[in-house]
Amino acid sequence: MLKTVAVIFGGKSAEHEVSIISGKSIAKNLNRKKFKVTEIFIDKKGGWFKNGKKQKAEEILQNVDIAFPVLHGTYGEDGTIQGLFEMLNIPYVGCGVAQSVLGMDKEFSKIIWKEHSLPVVKFKSIKKPAWQKNKKQALKEVSHLKFPLFVKPANLGSSVGITKVKNKKDLEKAIEIAFRYGYKVIIEESVKDAREIEVSLLGNDDVTSSVCGEIIPANEFYDYDAKYNNPNSKAIIPAKIDKKTSSKIKKTAEDAYKALNLHSLARADFLLSRKTGKFVISEVNTMPGFTPISMFPKLWEATGLPYQKLLTKLIDIAEQNFRQKSLWEI
């Protein structure tokens, strides 16, 4: 009998619309000779729908063999939905709870990478209560960081709430903006004149990396507009970088994946300085975009793994991980 795969998309995050396109594309391309596909939509308020009918999540998931949550950002990529699958004992595509948390948190992931001697920018976080209590003191604690700085909500995506700050007088406002979106703000030194290089990763301890790709944002940095509105942002696959740099980036991507004990899949994003040729790992996305033109599947396609085979492989890994729950320990 065919296994039922539930493709879950939409969701409560700012990436709701992208998730719908990704989810629809996965549902369309899954190999029907191997799988029966159920589409599950989560609306912006968190309601679950199957065939247009609103139902309780646990009812919808009752006869599902494997869940494929194509949800980005908050409630999708941050360990919450993964916890639901764990409670219901359903195999699922993607990282476990703890790995999702670490991948999502821009501070925790960097702390771990730093500990593993992987290259990261200088950073410092501020938590809301400390900021509200004494802004002057909080600003003093980040005063060693050199401008320009990037100020970000520590647990968000899609460049929402991110400001590039060029001088001291604009810092306070940028921090206030980032705090609109969460409890913790991360302040990072910037990689000047950076090229944005991305690598796709697949597997468990046997992780493999794709060729490198490059994003050329249409704006000063890859902000929300450059990501979703401005048609002049470009993706170049493979990235035009020398072999040595490319294999170093690939190796670092694999090491960063292992350092967080990631499983299944991720996309690792790098900032490569045009001036020095040095790079840092900036972040990982444990459920990257999956539209037919998204970097994650495109990079695999360029590495010799076409979209449909990639999906089958992810489901195989999900079943394998379900049998080996100890993998989730960090």
Which CB, 163 or 261, lies closer to ligand ADP? 163
Could you tell me whether strands 194-203 and 163-165 are parallel, antiparallel, or unpaired per DSSP bridges?
unpaired
Q: Does 271 bind ligand ADP (CB under 6 A)?
A: yes
Which of 155, 282, 286, 321 binds ligand ADP (CB under 6 A)? It is 282
The residue among 209 and 282 lying less far from ligand ADP, judged by its C-beta, is: 282
**Stretch binding ligand ADP (CB under 6 A), from 7-15, 20-28, 153-161, 228-236:** 153-161
Q: Note whether 184 and 178 are within 8 A (CB).
A: no
Peptide bond into 129 cis (omega under 30): no
Stretch touching ligand ADP by CB under 6 A, among 54-62, 81-89, 155-163, 300-308: 155-163
Torsional sign, CA 213, 218, 220, 226: negative
Phi, psi of 324 (to 5 degrees): -120, 65
Which residue is closest to ligand ADP by CB?
A: 222
Is residue 194 involved in binding ligand ADP (CB under 6 A)? Answer: yes
Q: Which is nearer to ligand ADP, 225 or 316 (CB)?
A: 225
Site string for ligand ADP, 218-257 (x = CB under 6 A): ---xx-----------------------------------
150 contributes a contact to ligand ADP by CB under 6 A: yes
Q: Tell the smallest beta-carbon distance from residue 183 to ligand ADP (Å).
A: 16
The β-bridge partners of 266 are 201
Contact, 56 vs 284, CB < 8 A?
no
The answer to whether the beta carbons of residues 310 and 299 sit under 8 Å apart is no
Task: Select the span of 2-10, 43-51, 154-162, 246-254 touching ligand ADP (CB under 6 A).
Answer: 154-162
Our CB check for ligand ADP shows the closer of 222 and 296 to be: 222
Interface with ligand ADP (CB under 6 A), residue from 66, 121, 126, 249: 121
What angle is formed at CA 270 by the lines to CA 304 and CA 80, rounded to 5 degrees? 85
Min dist. Cβ of residue 15 to ligand ADP (A): 10
Kindly identify the residues of this chain, within the stretch 156-185, that bind ligand ADP according to CB under 6 A. 157-159, 162
DSSP conformational letter for 146: P
**What's the burial of 13, exposed, middle or buried (CB within 10 Å: 0-12/13-18/19+)?**
buried
3-state secondary structure of 287: coil
Helix (H) or strand (E) holding 180: none
Taking a C-beta distance cutoff of 8 angstroms, is the pair 184, 110 a contact? no
Positions touching ligand ADP (CB under 6 A) are: 121, 150, 152, 157-159, 162, 188, 190-191, 194, 196, 217, 221-222, 269, 271, 282-283
